[in-house]
Structure 1
Amino acid sequence: MNQLTIGDYTITWLEGGVTNMDGGAMFGVVPKPLWSKKYPVNENNQVPMPTDPLLIQGEGRNILVDAGLGNGRLSKKQQRNYGVTEESNVEQSLREMNLYASDIDAVLMTHMHFDHASGLAREEQGQSVPVFRNAVIHVSETEWEEMKNPNIRSENTYWEKNWKPVAHQVETFESELQLTENIRMVHTGGHSAGMSIILIEDESSTLIHMADNMPTHAHQNVLWVTAYDDYPVDSVYMKEHYMNWGCQRHAWFTFYHDEIYRALKFNPSGEVIEAVTREKLNGS
């Protein structure tokens, strides 16, 4: 499993499943001859999109960023439509680290779309039950309210079975949550109205996890946003802000969905100066 050290924290990527999404949807109005030079695509115009949670360990805490696809949470039709080639191995990944799902103290949900939230629950004896039963689940208030009351567009990705089993674990925040002295969640909007990013900062290093506001390294260009973004102009503005700020600080930018990279560091000119390449397991 890939790891990255930021100050006193260790970040480990867990295996949360793999989807293969339509390339046109993932890159929006960007012409295929441009984006296909930067990201792999198959003969069906699908691009590989892992759904791999980040485990943050430090100060005696185990903190998960998003939850993966889960297991048995998608119908066969949904698996076909979303090109699912692997379901979640998050619990197996944790066991390799001598941890269990019950050891997770907090889950930071950047947003609640199915490919990030389906791993919050599992089926046991015909009922959906929490996977991370001892964790507090943090999500922006805006995202949580839309999750419970989706509109005609978002009801395709906000599923009742993903929020009802864990509702008693959820704590919401409005604009910003200071989780520890060095870790915070910031509500930015963009990809969804309630979208949040994760920041880790100390005196010597910075990590920025923009989740689906910059889902892959190929979305580095601030104008390259997905067709799934509910507020694409907001995505552009927030990405421009955090890219400029992060590049000046030589911050690590981490990814949940990227097929090639786990994390990248850019200089102020936007050139890659350091990388953590995704270790491919189980043939993924």
Structure 2
Amino acid sequence: MSWNGFKKAVNRAHQQVILKASYKKPEETVDVEFTLKEEAFGRFETLIDELQGELNRFKDNFRDIIETHREILNCMDSFYGSARGELGVVPRDGITAAYLANVENIRQNVVPQLFDPLNTTVFEPIREIGEYNEEIHRLIKKRGRKKFDYDVMKGKLLKMQEEYDHLNYQFTEVSSSEVTRLQLQKSNEKLNKMVTEFDAVESIYLEINERLKSEIEEYITLRFSFLDPSFESFIKIQMKLFTDIHKQLQRGVAIDAQSKEDYITGKLDARLDEILHKMKGLDIHSL
């Protein structure tokens, strides 16, 4: 913060303390049009924040799923290891080794290759929208500070105008003494100076107020132009991602024709039920 900014912040805080301690507070400026646009922006900002959070969860959860899948397959593959606990595996007809290799390739190659365009076309644009929201939010706060300065200055101007009107009445209707004339002249000089200061503060407030109303309306109107390309890309990349994963999982995994036929006809389920039934019938006490 610059030195001038620091002094303004201190002065504004001082004025806030005075207003809180005062019974007579200045009338607050209300712009209904701005309030409605600010509420619309607030809803849009909330949705973008939620979207960013969900996209980050999607990325993290997807990677967690792949990693968990890999760990499960590692565990399943270890069942085929030698009984002596050696690192080598016994010869087998199982498909876990090939399937594990496919999952590892998905983790190292398929996912990163598709997450790069996902970052470029979805995550980064949404993040940039979030940064633009922060900039608008910063300007809204600045507008609030300028409105406060404007309201305070307007209250001071009204008070000084009342003092001048009172002195003018005293001079014209009650007593046209030299003392009253000098007081009126001094009050008029202060009033003119206050009007100049008020005009400057009012100009700053009105400029940022009108600018924000215009920019927020245009920004909200353009939201579909911002979001539609990212949404379309998100769908297409997901389709390619899952298609590539499906193809990769089938690579090198040989399933015999009989097993495929049994799966189609439902016999495979019956075989599994039979195995489970035999397992339940095992009596470990007789071992």
Give TM-score, length-normalised by structure 2.
0.19
Higher RCO (C-alpha 8 Å, min separation 6): 2
Larger helix proportion of the pair: 2
Give TM-score, length-normalised by structure 1.
0.19
> Based on CA coordinates, which of the two structures has the bigger radius of gyration?
2
Larger strand proportion of the pair: 1
